[in-house]
Amino acid sequence: MNFKELRVSTPLLNALEDLEIVYPTPIQEKTYRRITAGSDLVGIAQTGTGKTFAYLLPILNELEYSKQQHPRILIIVPTRELVLQVKEEAEKLSRYKNVRIKEVFGGTNINTQKEYIYDGGADIIIGTPGRLFDIAVTGILKLNKIKKVVIDEVDETLSLGFRPQIEQLLEMMPQKKQNLMFSATLSDEVDYFINKYFFDPIKIEIDNNITPTEKIDQQAFNIPNFNTKIEFLKHILINNDDLIKNLIFVSTKKQADYLFEKLNPELGSVIGVIHSNKSQNYRFNTIKNFQKGSIKTIIATDVVAKGLDFNDISHVISLTVPDNPLDYIHRIGRTGRADKNGSSILMVSPYEANYYQEILKIVGANIKENEIPDTVKVSKILMEDEKPSESQKNYLKTSDLKNSGGAFHAKSKKRQKINSGGLKKKSKKKKN
Ligand code: AMP
Atom of ligand 1 nearest to the CA of 24: 19
Q: Which of 16, 25, 47, 51 to mutate to test the pocket of ligand 1 (most atoms within 8 A of CB)?
A: 25
Averaged pLDDT, 138-149:
97
Averaged pLDDT, 398-411:
50
Of 108-112, 246-250, 402-406, the poorest mean pLDDT is in: 402-406
Q: Using DSSP bridges, classify how beta strands 315-318 and 41-44 pair: parallel, antiparallel or unpaired.
A: unpaired
Between CA 420 and CA 427, with CA 424 as vertex, the angle to 5 degrees is: 115
Averaged pLDDT, 326-345:
88
Distance 275 CA to ligand 1 centre (A): 15
Averaged pLDDT, 387-393:
71
Averaged pLDDT, 337-348:
89
Q: Is the C-beta atom of 48 inside 6 A of ligand 1?
A: yes
For residues 133 and 395, what is the distance between their CA atoms, to the nearest angstrom? 55
Q: Which of 29, 52, 91 to mutate to test the pocket of ligand 1 (most atoms within 8 A of CB)?
A: 52
Atom of ligand 1 nearest to the CA of 28: 19
Q: Is the C-beta atom of 52 inside 6 A of ligand 1?
A: yes
**Confidence check: pLDDT of 391 > 70:** no
Between CA 346 and CA 352, with CA 350 as vertex, the angle to 5 degrees is: 60
Q: Is the C-beta atom of 94 inside 6 A of ligand 1?
A: no
Most confident region among 18-32, 131-145, 362-376, 409-423 by mean pLDDT: 131-145
pLDDT at 416: 41
User: Residue 210's pLDDT band (boundaries 50, 70, 90)?
Assistant: low
Averaged pLDDT, 344-349:
97
Averaged pLDDT, 104-119:
96
Q: Which of 61, 5, 50 is nearest to 28 (CA)?
A: 50
Dihedral over Cα of 259, 17, 41, 50: its sign:
positive
Atom of ligand 1 nearest to the CA of 49: 2
Q: Whose CA is nearest to atom 13 of ligand 1?
A: 50
**Confidence check: pLDDT of 289 > 70:** yes
User: CATH top-level class for 213-418?
Assistant: alpha beta
Go through the chain and tell me how many residues it has.
432
The answer to whether 10-205 and 213-418 have equal CATH topology is: yes
Atom of ligand 1 nearest to the CA of 52: 3
User: Residue 249's pLDDT band (boundaries 50, 70, 90)?
Assistant: very high
222 and 409 in contact (C-beta within 8 Å)? yes
Q: Show Cβ contacts of residue 393 under 8 Å, excluding neighbours closer than 6 positions.
A: none
User: Residue 212's pLDDT band (boundaries 50, 70, 90)?
Assistant: low
Atom of ligand 1 nearest to the CA of 303: 21
How does DSSP assign 147-160, residue by residue?
A: -EEEE-SHHHHHHT
pLDDT at 206: 85
**Confidence check: pLDDT of 261 > 90:** yes
**Confidence check: pLDDT of 425 > 60:** no
**Percentage of the chain exceeding pLDDT 70:** 89
pLDDT at 414: 41
255 and 321 in contact (C-beta within 8 Å)? no
CATH 3.40.50.300 fits 10-205, yes or no: yes
Distance 331 CA to ligand 1 centre (A): 14
Summarised one tens digit per residue, pLDDT across range 290-323 is 999 999 999 999 888 887 888 789 999 999 999 9
Summarised one tens digit per residue, pLDDT across range 167-205 is 999 999 999 999 999 998 888 989 998 999 999 999 999
Distance 323 CA to ligand 1 centre (A): 15
pLDDT at 310: 83
User: Residue 344's pLDDT band (boundaries 50, 70, 90)?
Assistant: very high
Of 104-118, 205-219, 393-407, the poorest mean pLDDT is in: 393-407
Q: Whose CA is nearest to atom 14 of ligand 1?
A: 50
Distance 102 CA to ligand 1 centre (A): 21
**Confidence check: pLDDT of 240 > 50:** yes
pLDDT at 409: 61
Q: Is 116 or 393 the better-scoring residue by pLDDT?
A: 116
Alpha carbons within 13 A on the beta-carbon side of 291: 10
Q: What is the largest CA-CA distance in the chain?
A: 77
Q: Is 397 or 260 the better-scoring residue by pLDDT?
A: 260
Averaged pLDDT, 105-115:
95
User: Residue 6's pLDDT band (boundaries 50, 70, 90)?
Assistant: very high
Dihedral (C-alpha) 374, 379, 383, 389: value to the nearest 10 degrees? 100
Distance 50 CA to ligand 1 centre (A): 4
Q: Which of 53, 208, 253, 308 to mutate to test the pocket of ligand 1 (most atoms within 8 A of CB)?
A: 53
Atom of ligand 1 nearest to the CA of 46: 2
**Confidence check: pLDDT of 59 > 70:** yes
Q: Whose CA is nearest to atom 15 of ligand 1?
A: 50
117 and 96 in contact (C-beta within 8 Å)? no
DSSP for residue 268: G
For residues 158 and 156, what is the distance between their CA atoms, to the nearest angstrom? 5
Sheet hosting strand 41-44, strand order edge to edge: 101-104, 124-127, 73-76, 148-151, 178-183, 41-44, 202-205
Averaged pLDDT, 409-422:
44
Where in the chain are the domains? Answer: 10-205, 213-418
pLDDT at 337: 78
User: Residue 364's pLDDT band (boundaries 50, 70, 90)?
Assistant: confident
Q: Structure pTM? A: 0.78
Whole-number average pLDDT of the chain? 89
pLDDT at 278: 85
